[in-house]
Structure 1
């Protein structure tokens, strides 16, 4: 079998030119030489899979953290670099409700641009972005931080909750959130369910990866088939193995 060409994005740490590719372009059937080792480049690749135009620009590009585990095989390396990017404020780790223990990733620049577009000309939002989003690596905030340290008033916190940048976590604490996240979660869930149902209904609950990639599933069009494939593989919802016909994906349970 002809070896997959290593994408240019992973030949250097310089800012890459991202191109949309299929799973086989990433060496799914190769010996592993095409597996990237740079988490930032992997994030940029996953970001490039999202068709923001199809989403009417209602959300920023959102990456599910475990998608990285399919692109970069070393989970420890992924977790270490995600923490480094988070500490450098380049990305935000967010709890969006895609899974009980799962976090999502948004580039900080994308998050700030999205919030400013959705909630323009609001002084309390600008304070929130400058004092929390751009200066901390926090996933959540509590009343002590907001009121005692940053001097937000109760009515301002309410405004942030109503604006969708804070979601209630517990009494006196809030998750940092994305305005319009519910729209993303609906499309994410529908697309994921459609792909898993397709595999489950296939013979022996398995299908060739390249065949799955060509399936015309309406529910996957918004986020994109490749986006969903990276997610189900990274989450362990399906397993994959090589056959003489190509890479096969299977639901084991």
Structure 2
């Protein structure tokens, strides 16, 4: 299912400077701020700029077709003013540029995905499910047109969901089941009458996110001062997560689990004091 998540697609917003493979890749990388080290992009002044660069830098993962998503914690690591991040995310959400998703990782994690990417992801999932035009699969069209367009929050109650879907046609329980089976909605545990909007196919990456966090903290905790030079840490390969080191470090720094310290020999990453 690579067609749904190609590298070329992820680079679509980045200007092309040459038709030569390596040179183009290098140009794309530099245009995207995709520098060799994370230390160069730990400070942005604008949330949308940070989002666009992190979207391009989203790790390419084999066998998982998920459009690039960014964690709110990663934005906190790169845009110093958290209130500004929250405010700008809220504006972008209201303007329907992106959507926010509550993640079931046991923490207060939120993922951000550009709306166009999310709509494409839904199309990919429907295609893979063998969705035909008409029949019960028409619910996906109703969902995109009537639900996503008017419900911008991260959750929705059953009654409101049915009411919005009914703008497209007669709603049956099997329609709702189809949306849940596709991974587009998940039931809230506390209130089964309410659903979270979800990113389809994200399950294995969320597992990797949780395990990668533990792996990095454990790696640093075993060191004498619970710290390591960023340059050395970036070279480490993660065993427990398909996501790359940069993705995890941004998340852990932004969530306060790790802190950074600039020294004459380079940036140090250390486990934050409890």
Bin of the TM-score, shorter chain as denominator length: 0.7 to 0.9
Secondary structure of 1:141's partner? strand
Q: Give the CA deviation at 1:111.
A: 0.9
Shift of 1:163: 1.5
Which of 47, 50, 60 aligns to 2:55? It is 47
Give TM-score, length-normalised by structure 2: 0.78
The two structures have a TM-score, normalised by structure 1, of: 0.84
Alignment of 1:58-73 (within 5 A): 58-73=65-80
How many angstroms does 1:96 deviate by? Answer: 1.9
The corresponding residue for 2:141 is: 126
Q: Are 1:20 and 2:20 an aligned pair?
A: no
Counterpart for residue 82 of structure 1:
89
What is the aligned counterpart of 1:212 among 222, 230, 233?
233
TM-superposed CA distance for 1:57, in Å, is 4.2
Q: 1 CA distance for matches of 2:93 and 2:106? A: 20
Match of 2:154?
A: 139
3-state SS of paired residue (1:94):
strand
Matched with 2:252 is: 232
How far apart, CA to CA, are the structure 2 residues paired with 1:149 and 1:25? 45
CA distance in 2, matches of 1:17, 1:249: 26
The alpha-carbon deviation at position 99 of structure 1 amounts to: 4.0
Deviates more, 1:61-70 or 1:150-159: 150-159
Separation of aligned partners in 1, 2:152 and 2:229: 40
CA distance in 2, matches of 1:203, 1:134: 52
When the two chains are superposed, the root-mean-square deviation of aligned CA atoms in Å is 2.0
Distance (Å, rounded) in 1 between the aligned partners of 2:220 and 2:57: 21
If asked which structure has higher relative contact order (CA below 8 Å, sep 6+), I would say 1
- 1:218 and 1:226 map into 2 onto residues whose CA distance is 14
Aligned residues: 230
Distance 1:99 1:234, change over 3 A: farther
Extract structure 1 runs of 4+ deviating beyond 4 A.
none
**Alpha-carbon distance in structure 1 between the residues aligned to 2:165 and 2:126:** 20
**Cα distance between partner residues in 2 of 1:232 and 1:241:** 14
